Amino acid sequence: MAVSCLVYRLAPKIPLCPLTPTSSTPTSPNNAPPSLPLPLPPLSPHPPLRLPLPLPLRLLHPLLRRRHRPLVRRHPHPAPCRRYFARFPPFQNSSSDLYHSFLHLTLGLADRAQSHLRRLGSRCQSDAERTAWLDCWRLYTNAALQLNRTLSRACSPLDSQTWLSAALTNLHTCRHGFAELGASPALIRPVIQYNLSDLISNLLAVNNATPATPATPGWMMTLSHQRRLLQLASSRPDLVVAQDGSGNFRTIKDALNAAATAKQSGRRGSGTFVIYVKAGAYSENLNVISGLSNLTLIGDGIGRTVITGVFADGFMATGITFRNTFGPGSQAVALLSASDRSVFYRCSFEGYQDTLCVFSQRQFYRECDVYGTIDFIFGNAAAVFQNCNIFVRRPRAGESNVITAQGRSDPNQNTGIVVQSSAIRAAPEFVPVERAVRSYLGRPWMQYSRTIFVRSYIDSIIDPAGWLPFNGNFALSTLYYAEFGNTGPGSRLSGRVRWPGYHLIARASAIKEFSVGRFIAGRTWIPSTGVPFSSGF
C-alpha cells in the first residue's frame, strides 16, 4: 500500500529497457483524487499581476544601469531582471541589496500566483486535471512558505539556499506532474507565466551560499550526546500508539492529529514531541504536516514497528521500518521526506521501485537499511547516508537495478545525495540472479544531478561502468558524480564511465564540501538529537 502523498507524481522517469511503462500505484481503492485540504486560504484581494514588457537596461533606474547591470546580466535568467525592475523600487549598492529586492519581488509574485492558481481549480475538466491541479496548489503553498522563511533575521545563507532550493523543486514538480498524470498543462500556463522558477533561480545564483560551519574531520558524538539519545528513548513519551489498546491511540494517524492539536493550541511548547509506537504492523497513509515541527517517532526496532506507507521540520524517527508492500511492478514509495533537519536513525526503508523519496531540504540517515530495485533513493534533498546498508533486490525479468536518481535541476541548488561509510550489497533474494542482472550506482534524473559515494563498501553486484545514462547523452556533461576511497570488488575504477561530469577523486579535501559538517551543516543541529555522526571524511 503506497503512502498517499502529492509528490509521488514527480517528473516522469524513463524506464530501464526493456522495462515497459506502468501506471503509478493507486492512492486509494477507487483511484479517486484526494480531497481538498481544509481550510483553503482566502483568495488574494489583488488581481493577477499584469507583467510589464521587458525593457532595455538603458531605460531602467540609473542606479541599476550603472552599478548592477553586470550582476543582472550574470543571472541565469536576466530577462526577469529587466522586466520586473522596471516597476520595482530601486535598491541600494550591493549584491545583498539586489538579493533582498529580488526576494521581496518574488514573494509578492508567489502570493499572486498562488491565488491565481486556486481560482483555476474550477476549470478542471477531468479527475486527472483536478488531481494535478491540487498537487500544484499544495506545492505552490509550500513554496511560498519556504520563501517566507528566508526573511527571518536568524536565517543563514545556507538556510536561504536550502529553502530556495526546496521552493524551486516544488515548482518543477508541479509542472512535471501534469505530464505524469496525462493532464493538459494548459490549465496552469497562466501561473507559469509569472516566471517564479526563473526568479528563484536568480535568487539561488545571487545567494550562492556555501556552509559557514567548518567541518572537523573525525568528530564524533560525545558521551553527553549518547546519554541524551538514551534518555530520549527511555523517558516518558508524550503519546503512545499500540494496536492492542494499551496506549493512548491505536493508530499513528490519530496520534499525529492529537500532536498537531496540542501544538496548535499552545499546550506544548517548541520542544520535541515524542510519540512511542509499540511493535506491530501499521498499514496507514501518513502525512506529517509542516506544522508538526520537532516531532520524534520511536519504535521498538527494525522489523518490529512497521509503517507501510514528512513535511515537518526537525522530524526524527528511530527504530522504525517504513515498508511499501506493493511488488516490483511499479512505483512503490515507502517514505517521502521533505523535512528540513530531519534524522532517521536505525530505520529500515523497504520497497522496490522508488522506495525512498528524499524530496527536499536537509536530511541525515544513520545506520539505516534501504531496499529496492529501480531509482530507490531519489529526489532533490541534501541527503547524507552514513554507516547505512543499501540492499539491491531482485527486479522483474529483463530489468536492471539503479540505486540513486538525484533530481537537482539548477546548478546553484545546494542539493545532492552523499553515501558515506556505507555498504552496497545484494539482498538475499537477489543473490541467486545477481550475475545475470546489471546494477548501477545511479543515473541522472535531472540536468544537474549530483551524487557522491565516499569510503563505502561496494559489492560485486555493481556493473564495472558504475553509472547508467538516463536518456542518451542527457546531463552527462552537467551532472556531478564522484567516488572516493571506496572498497570492495565493485569499487574498481578502471571500467567506470568517462563522462565529462564524472569525477575520480584523489584526495578527501577535494570533496570536503559534501561532508556532514559542511553539506548539511550537521554540527549545528544533529548533536541535539543525540544521534551519532561523523562531521568529516
Residue 366 in any domain: the answer is yes
Residue 216 in any domain: the answer is no
Phi and psi dihedrals of 475, rounded to 5? 70, 5
200 and 228 both lie in a single domain: no
Cα distance between residue 176 and residue 104, in whole Å: 26
Residue 494 in any domain: the answer is yes
Domain boundary among 157, 182, 207: 207
Cα distance between residue 130 and residue 33, in whole Å: 7
Q: Are 16 and 399 in contact (CB under 8 A)?
A: yes
Total domains, the chain = 2
* Paired strand residues for 369: 348, 389
Domain boundary among 207, 240, 267: 207
Q: Are 20 and 14 in contact (CB under 8 A)?
A: no
Instruction: Quote the radius of gyration of the chain (alpha carbons, Å).
Output: 23
Q: Which three cell numbers stand for residue 322?
A: 517504513
Return the closest-CA partner of residue 416 out of 310, 343, 514. Answer: 514
172 and 234 both lie in a single domain: no
Q: Torsion angle of alpha carbons 360, 361, 362, 366, nearest 10°?
A: -20
Residue 174 in any domain: the answer is yes
140 and 282 both lie in a single domain: no
241 and 188 both lie in a single domain: no
Return the closest-CA partner of residue 378 out of 450, 439, 310, 428. Answer: 450
134 and 272 both lie in a single domain: no
CA–centroid distance for 423 within its chain: 22
Residue 5 in any domain: the answer is no
Where are the extended beta strands (E) located within 199-320?
239-241, 273-277, 280-283, 295-298, 305-308, 316-318
Cα distance between residue 120 and residue 134, in whole Å: 10
Reported pTM: 0.82
**159: containing domain:** 33-207
Contacts of 168 (CB under 8 A, 6+ apart): 143, 197, 200, 201, 204, 409, 410, 413
247 and 187 both lie in a single domain: no
In this prediction, residue 388 carries a pLDDT of: 98
87 and 188 both lie in a single domain: yes
Contacts of 137 (CB under 8 A, 6+ apart): 114, 117, 118, 121
Run of H or E including 519:
helix 516-519
Residue 27 in any domain: the answer is no
* Paired strand residues for 386: 366, 420
* Paired strand residues for 158: none
Phi and psi dihedrals of 451, rounded to 5? -145, 135
Cα distance between residue 459 and residue 39, in whole Å: 51
CA dist 299 → 217, 268, 304, 508 (Å): 31, 22, 8, 36
List b or e across 143-169, with b for residues whose CB sees 16 or more CB atoms inside 10 angstroms: bbbbbebbeeeeeebbbbbbbbbbbbb
Cα distance between residue 138 and residue 508, in whole Å: 41
Q: What is the CATH number of the domain that holds 274?
A: 2.160.20.10
187 and 241 both lie in a single domain: no
Amino acid sitting at position 472? G
Q: What is the CATH number of the domain that holds 106?
A: 1.20.140.40
133 and 180 both lie in a single domain: yes
167 and 312 both lie in a single domain: no
Q: Which three cell numbers stand for residue 392?
A: 539491491
Residue 276 in any domain: the answer is yes
For residue 474, how many other CB atoms are within 10 A of its CB? Answer: 17
DSSP annotation string for 220-247: ---HHHHHHHHHHHHSPPSEEE-TTS-S
pLDDT in tens, the chain (537 residues): 333 333 333 444 443 433 333 333 333 333 333 333 333 333 333 333 333 333 343 434 444 444 455 555 556 666 666 665 555 555 555 566 677 878 888 898 899 999 899 998 888 888 888 989 998 998 999 999 999 999 888 888 999 999 999 999 999 999 888 888 888 888 888 888 888 999 999 899 888 744 444 443 333 444 444 445 545 555 688 999 999 999 999 999 899 889 888 877 776 666 788 899 999 988 887 777 666 788 888 988 888 878 765 777 888 999 999 988 888 877 888 999 998 999 999 999 999 999 999 999 999 999 999 999 999 999 999 999 999 999 999 999 999 999 999 999 999 999 999 999 999 999 999 999 999 999 999 999 999 999 999 999 999 999 999 999 999 999 999 999 999 999 999 999 999 999 999 999 988 888 999 999 999 999 999 998 889 999 998
Residue 407 in any domain: the answer is yes
For residue 37, how many other CB atoms are within 10 A of its CB? Answer: 14
Catalytic residue among 111, 369, 375, 459: 375
Domain boundary among 138, 172, 207: 207
Which residue, chain included where needed, has cell 516544488? 170
Q: Are 363 and 520 in contact (CB under 8 A)?
A: yes
Cα distance between residue 222 and residue 420, in whole Å: 20
Cα distance between residue 245 and residue 297, in whole Å: 18
Task: For 54-84, write each residue's pLDDT tens digit.
Answer: 334 343 444 444 445 555 555 666 666 666 5
Q: Are 376 and 358 in contact (CB under 8 A)?
A: no
143 and 245 both lie in a single domain: no
Is 111 considered catalytic here?
Answer: no
197 and 277 both lie in a single domain: no
DSSP label of 154 = T
Which residue, chain included where needed, has cell 572516493? 484
